[in-house]
Homo-oligomer: A and B are copies of this chain.
């Protein structure tokens, strides 16, 4: 059994964040010790690590709730799971596409910023110029 601090370290999540997740019911209420301290098992660690990674990937907590429900209710109808999975897959694909474009842009920036002075460094120039964009982000929905 892990205390909240150990759990946080194991999952890479800060203690107050864990309590916050419990408050918004993303994590179930854990057991308590005789002295009222939270005690967690392996499943809580898995769940928290999942949340952490999904957050890093930019998923809002609502989407994470959806994803968690896929494993929380393994017997739910395939149709429901399918809808959630497809919706998230669409989001994931869009996110990958946009990140690829951003990666290319960053690499170009770094290549152009070859150890000179800002006078020849085009970092800012590149980042202010829409024409360098691989895709038109002005029409894309709010992704972050």
Binding site for B on A (CB under 8 A): 9, 12, 45-47, 49-50, 53-54, 56-58, 67-68, 70-71, 73-79, 81-82, 85-86, 88-89, 92-93, 95-96, 98-100, 102-103, 105-107, 109-110, 113-121, 123-125, 127-130, 133, 137-138, 143-144
A113 contact from B57, B85, B93, B99, Cβ within 8 A: B85
Residues of B within 8 A of A96 (CB): 96, 99-100, 103
Q: Which residues of B contact A138 (CB under 8 A)?
A: 9, 12
Contact between chains at B93 and A12 (CB < 8 Å): no
CA distance A82 to B115 in the complex (A): 8
- B47 near A117 with CB under 8 A, answer no
CA distance A20 to B81 in the complex (A): 35
Complex: A105 Cα to B89 Cα, angstroms: 9
Smallest Cβ distance from A21 to chain B, in angstroms?
A: 14
- Whether A53 and B86, one on each chain, are in contact in the complex, defined by CB atoms closer than 8 angstroms, is no
- Are A95 and B50 touching (Cβ within 8 A)? no
Q: Whose C-beta in chain B lies nearest to the C-beta of A67? A: B123
Which of B9, B58, B119 is in CB contact (< 8 Å) with A95? Answer: B58
- A77, B113: Cα distance in complex, Å: 9
B75 touches A117 (CB 8 A): yes
Closest B residue to A49 by beta carbon equals B128
Q: Which residue of B lies closest to A108 (CB)?
A: B85
